[in-house]
Amino acid sequence: MTQLFLFLLLTVLPSVIAHSNLAYIIINGELYHGYDPRPGKTNYPDRVGWSSDNPDAGFVGPVNYTTPEISCHLNGKSTPFHAPIPAGDTVHVQWNGWPYGHPGPVLSYLAPCEGTADGCASVNKTQLLWTKIDNSGPVLINQNEGPPGQWASHVMIANNNSWSVHIPSGLKPGPYVLRHEAIALHFAKNANGAQNYPLCMNLWVTPPREGTQTLPFVLDGAPATKLYKADDPGIFIDVFKTLTEYVVPGPTVAANALPVPHGEQKGSASVRDGVAVRVTGTRTVPFVARRTEAFQS
């Protein structure tokens, strides 16, 4: 069976395996819940994953690149809860599966939640400014066995459908939204054929651990509606042709972001449930994070 035939076969399998969502994240062995938009699924009250109106766990297409939907998925809404993490540590993002026949990049962005009294709970998503901290490079790994070849998405699949995201050590403490996104390119040769899966989750970033090397980090964010264009070469592309390069869509990765390389990506298991935090305080930083024990397991 050729690789091309395998990709075509997996591409046309029933859509039950074609869509995905944020199952949970793990930070230093502690699990924080995502959001499952599918009908009949129970979501935890202390989840850190944003909700969305995509009951088929489906995607956002290029027709939505200039709308708020590209920010945190269809009708994405925040949650009062945040996962605490020291700057310089790693978030392990667990997807609810990813099809082999959906090659593409795995991207991550951070946006600070400013001007609120509750962290990211009431933030206006249209005002979030996104700084890229990971572009999963090299996205196109090789086409040694012919197109489409091996992509960053296959690294994610090989690691139990998960991706590790480094939080920059120089990031200032406070509330942030982590926007983690896979882009499926199996239909991208068609206009508006790319499929974006933006997943958002709230973080409460604390100072780095003692002994962590702190590197200067500057947020250079842009609105979600300015991240991509439908005719970007990494969006409107035929991955079933021989490619000499792949141009990653969106801005460049910020200096000193230090993405986790492919060789260090690995699956993770939780030790315990984490305790998500609510954020209380005034509209001026610093905010005060208060742990909410009511939902502790």
Strand partners, 83: 203
**Measured distance CA(127)–CA(234) in Å, rounded:** 25
Q: What is the pLDDT along the chain (297 residues), one digit of tens a residue?
A: 444 444 444 444 433 344 899 999 999 999 999 999 999 999 999 999 999 999 988 999 999 999 999 999 999 999 999 999 999 999 999 999 999 999 999 999 999 999 999 999 999 999 999 999 999 999 999 999 999 999 999 999 999 999 999 999 999 999 999 999 999 999 999 999 999 999 999 999 999 999 999 999 999 999 999 999 999 999 999 999 999 999 999 999 999 999 999 999 999 889 999 999 998 875 554 556 666 544 433
The per-residue pLDDT for 292 is 59
The per-residue pLDDT for 136 is 98
Q: Is 174 left (phi over 0), alpha (psi -120 to 50) or beta?
A: left
**Measured distance CA(117)–CA(125) in Å, rounded:** 15
Which is it for the CA torsion 43, 48, 53, 57, positive or negative? Answer: negative
Strand partners, 23: none
Q: Return the exposure string of 187-209: e unless at least 16 CB atoms fall within 10 Å of the residue's CB, then b.
A: ebeeeebbbbbbbbbbbbbeebe
The per-residue pLDDT for 11 is 41
The per-residue pLDDT for 281 is 74
Query: 46: burial class by Cβ within 10 Å (0-12, 13-18, 19+)?
Result: buried
**Measured distance CA(297)–CA(279) in Å, rounded:** 20
Terminal-residue alpha carbon distance, the chain? 48
